[in-house]
Amino acid sequence: MDIFRILLIEPLANGLAVFYKLFGGNMGVAIIAFSLFLRLLLTPLTKPYMESMKKMKQHSKDLDKLKKRHKDDKAKLMKAQADFYKEKGINPGSGCLPYLLQIIILIALFRVFTGILVSNGDVTSKFNEMLYDSVKFSSDTVINTKFLYLDVTKPDVIRLPGLPFPIPGPFIILSALTQFLSAKMTAPYVKEEQKKAKKTKSDIDDFQVAMQSSMIYTFPIMTLLIGISFPSGLAIYWFLFSLYQAVQQFRSTGWGGLTPWIERINLLKSA
């Protein structure tokens, strides 16, 4: 018995089937609507994390003073930070469980999309294997997988004459771009930590800062490279997931590391 399939994969597949039937029998539209529905459903779970992020931003100067005061004693710093968080009602770990749940749902949706959206396969029969009897499609149903310029069962790629390999299509590029922008908004914290890491004697801080900086570029690049081999339906979902994540990041930290860019194009007045 596959518990993961019973508890997550099949309910998500059935939800996608319901949205397909509700939204005009178009798989691309169903993926968009179902993705937004899931994100809205998970929003209350991420609210405590976003509130903690806002409070940490408001008290960033006080936290910096603590780090400076206890820069040579990690144990005292951790205790001072814990006391400060308790005093201000900040729970840094409040987002761990919700984000873990989002990752689990993302993996389950990946299984749904890759199991259903099979190029040159029978989408209807593959879909029905995951559906409850009351939701199943009739055997003669033809699932409409066309959306805009895409067939959501096939990768979102562009093939140029003379080029031996495909290049990422618009949805993959947009996914990578929104991931990059979201990560870039956290850059002020990374920059600040770089300054602190140089002042500390431990190599651990330097390693953590290097990891944070590399993640800004690593995940978008991975999206570009891996996305070209997966069904474009997954690329649509990943774009919406990344876009929603970027909006949440903006609401919690503002433009962050994007501020200089925004100022350059006169979309944001400098303070």
Per-residue pLDDT of the chain (271 residues; tens, 9 = 90+): 678 888 889 999 999 999 999 998 999 999 999 988 988 887 777 666 666 666 766 777 777 777 777 777 778 778 887 887 777 777 766 556 666 777 788 788 888 888 887 766 688 888 898 999 999 999 888 889 899 888 888 889 998 888 888 899 999 999 899 888 887 776 654 455 455 555 554 444 444 455 556 677 888 888 888 888 888 888 898 888 888 878 877 877 777 777 777 777 765 554 4
- Give CA–CA dist 271/197, Å, rounded: 28
Please list, in sequence order, all residues whose beta carbon lies within 8 angstroms of the beta carbon of residue 208, skipping any fewer than 6 positions away: 193, 197
Q: How far is CA 259 from CA 112, 200, 203, 216, in A?
A: 38, 28, 30, 16
Q: Token pair for residue 110?
A: 């990946």
Please write the tens of the pLDDT for every residue from 217-264: 888 888 888 888 888 888 898 888 888 878 877 877 777 777 777 777
Q: Minimal CA–CA distance to 16: which of 4, 2, 32?
A: 32
Q: How far is it, in rounded angstroms, from Cα 93 to Cα 36?
A: 25
